[in-house]
Amino acid sequence: MRFLLTALVALLAAACAPDYNWREVRSPEQGYLVMLPGKPAEMTRSIRLQELEVPMTMKGARVGEVSFTVAVAQLPDDSPATRETALAAMRAGMLANLGGTEREAVPVPVQVVDGVGAVRGEVPGVRVAVDGRAQGAAVEMRAGFVGREDLAYQWVALGPALDDDHVRTFLDSFRLTPAIR
């Protein structure tokens, strides 16, 4: 009986471990908000999306071997064709980086909210589930892709074993906001 009590206390302590410290993160400059499981790190670098050379800003957090990241590419114009090209290249690039295959791709509406969080509309996006490899090990990726105005977005959960609840919290929390530039 003592063993069971000790095991139960240990299990409850582990269940309460603050590994996932969810917080809302806003990026007024890039026009989004999202829930991340820890204090985010940020970096910007230039990337190539087919014929487009664009700056991409990434903001994300890790918990163990799982990363949660939002990447935003600043496009040269606000045309639907440029957004489509950028989003297709972002998606293809993620697949190529993982040597992966999409096992699921579903259209999703992405909410547009105002400064206080009231829903002001929706933009069509897509969510994918991918199996692949990173650093020689099997990984899962679940991601969303959407474009709005002169910005292309991807939000990605990546790791060897993704927890459905944590991934859902992250993916479902992504919202577009007015970009302040």
pLDDT tens digits for range 152-162: 999 999 999 89
- Joined together, the tokens standing for residue 92 give 């293809």
User: For the ranges 13-17, 111-115, 141-145, 164-168, which has the lowest average pLDDT?
Assistant: 13-17
User: For the ranges 32-36, 84-88, 132-136, which has the lowest average pLDDT?
Assistant: 132-136
Mean pLDDT of the 93-97 span: 94
Mean pLDDT of the 65-72 span: 97
| pTM given for the model | 0.88
User: For the ranges 50-54, 73-77, 101-105, 115-119, which has the lowest average pLDDT?
Assistant: 115-119
DSSP summary character for residue 83 = H
Res. 14: pLDDT tops 80 = no
DSSP summary character for residue 93 = H
DSSP summary character for residue 84 = H
- What is the pLDDT at residue 115? 83
Averaged confidence pLDDT in the chain: 89
Res. 49: pLDDT tops 90 = yes
Mean pLDDT of the 9-23 span: 56
Write down the domain spans for the chain.
Answer: 20-176
Of the pLDDT bands very low, low, confident and very high (cuts 50, 70, 90), residue 19 is: confident
Res. 94: pLDDT tops 80 = yes
The C-alpha atoms of residue 91 and residue 140 are separated, in whole angstroms, by 15
Residue 84 corresponds to which amino acid? E
CATH number for the domain whose boundaries are 20-176: 3.40.1000.10
Share of the chain above pLDDT 70, in %: 90
3-state secondary structure of 1: coil
Res. 5: pLDDT tops 50 = no
- Joined together, the tokens standing for residue 91 give 């998606």
CA distances from 98 to 74, 145, 158, 161 (A): 24, 17, 10, 15
The C-alpha atoms of residue 50 and residue 162 are separated, in whole angstroms, by 30
Of the pLDDT bands very low, low, confident and very high (cuts 50, 70, 90), residue 2 is: very low
The backbone torsions φ and ψ at residue 65, rounded to the nearest 5 degrees and listed phi first, read -95, 5
